[in-house]
């Protein structure tokens, strides 16, 4: 039988993605995901029942304290923790990465509720109010291949990863940043198994390479699971 391109497309496993849609930049993620061929659908998540239907999740940027508060009120905090603990692929961008972290510094008085799962400590609002947003071209492991194709990373009141708390966390990107006299590279993207964290906002660019990478991680995750269940 002669296969057409469409047959191959249909043969590919396709996955359902959710984007936490309580607050922040969720629509942009949905839009990018919808244009990736291995994505069967991308839906906004506002309720625990919706979370149960998806294979992978993005927690977007916005305001981590507000998002945690709304998630708590909507009864989503525990289902989100369960989702991440079960090993399902989850990617946090900016405020989303703060929520995915196991520890956060510079949190509001009274602390901050986190989803956790990603073994890192983050510093919220690392760049202060003077430079609260900027763009930087980054080399990202597994994603950019040479200095000609760096990733345009947009940082908005961004956190950074101040420490890596497990050897299973892989550093994907660092930002050269002048602090006083010294130039200290700051960690701004990590991966731990099927969990991904980026301090910046890839959904605000028209570069979909990190989204495609996350879809690939999802595919790899379910392929491995299938192998295990055989």
Q: Binding residues for ligand GLN, per CB under 6 A?
A: 61-64, 94-95, 98, 124-125, 156-157
- Find the shortest distance in angstroms from Cβ 30 to ligand GLN: 17
- Find the shortest distance in angstroms from Cβ 60 to ligand GLN: 8
**Cβ-based neighbour number of residue 41 at 10 Å:** 14
Rounded to 5 degrees, what are φ and ψ at 162?
Answer: -90, -25
For ligand GLN, give the closer residue by CB, 125 or 162.
125
For ligand GLN, give the closer residue by CB, 16 or 157.
157
Active site residue 211: no
Q: How far apart are CA 217 and CA 130, in angstroms?
A: 36
Active site residue 139: no
Instruction: Note every long-range contact of 170-178, with CB atoms under 8 Å and residues 24 or more positions apart, other chains counting.
Output: 170/141, 171/141, 172/140, 172/141, 172/142, 172/143, 173/138, 173/139, 173/140, 173/141, 173/198, 175/136, 175/138
Catalytic residue among 28, 29, 177, 201: 201
For ligand GLN, give the closer residue by CB, 22 or 156.
156
- Find the shortest distance in angstroms from Cβ 20 to ligand GLN: 12
Six token digits for residue 202: 């890839």
Active site residue 176: no
Nearest CA-CA partner of 29 in 65, 67, 56, 66: 56
Catalytic residue among 28, 29, 94, 177: 94
Within 13 Å of residue 76, how many CA atoms lie on the same side as its CB? 20
Tell whether 156 is in a known binding site.
Answer: yes
For ligand GLN, give the closer residue by CB, 56 or 98.
98
Q: How far apart are CA 188 and CA 93, in angstroms?
A: 10
- Find the shortest distance in angstroms from Cβ 27 to ligand GLN: 14
Tell whether 59 is in a known binding site.
Answer: no
For ligand GLN, give the closer residue by CB, 64 or 218.
64
Rounded to 5 degrees, what are φ and ψ at 207?
Answer: -100, 110
- Find the shortest distance in angstroms from Cβ 124 to ligand GLN: 4
- Tokens 């990373």 map to which residue? 153
Tell whether 63 is in a known binding site.
Answer: yes
Tell whether 181 is in a known binding site.
Answer: no
Contact between 193 and 220 under an 8 Å Cβ cutoff? The reply is no
Catalytic residue among 28, 203, 211, 221: 203
Binding site for L-glutamine: which residues? Answer: 62-64, 124, 156-157
Catalytic amino acids? 94, 201, 203
């Amino acid at each position: 039988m002669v296969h057409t391109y469409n047959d191959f497309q249909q043969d590919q496993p396709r996955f359902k993605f959710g984007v936490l849609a309580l607050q922040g930049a969720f629509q942009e993620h949905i839009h990018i995901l919808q244009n990736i061929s291995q994505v069967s659908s991308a839906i906004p998540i506002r309720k625990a029942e919706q979370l149960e239907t998806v294979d992978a999740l993005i927690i977007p940027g916005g305001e981590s304290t507000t998002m945690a508060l709304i998630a708590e009120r909507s009864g989503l905090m525990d289902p989100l923790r369960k989702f991440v603990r079960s090993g399902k692929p989850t990617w946090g961008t900016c405020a989303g990465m703060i929520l995915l972290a196991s520890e956060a510094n510079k949190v509001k008085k009274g602390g901050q509720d986190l989803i956790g799962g990603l073994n890192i400590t983050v510093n919220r609002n690392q760049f202060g109010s003077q430079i609260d947003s900027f763009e930087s071209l980054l080399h990202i492991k597994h994603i950019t291949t040479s200095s000609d194709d760096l990733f345009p990373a947009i940082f908005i009141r961004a956190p950074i990863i101040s420490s890596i708390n497990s050897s299973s966390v892989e550093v994907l990107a660092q930002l050269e940043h002048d602090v006083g006299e010294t130039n200290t590279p700051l960690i701004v993207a990590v991966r731990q198994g099927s969990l991904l964290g980026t301090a910046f906002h890839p959904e605000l660019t028209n570069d979909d390479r990190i989204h495609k990478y996350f879809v690939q991680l999802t595919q790899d995750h379910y392929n491995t699971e299938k192998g295990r269940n055989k």
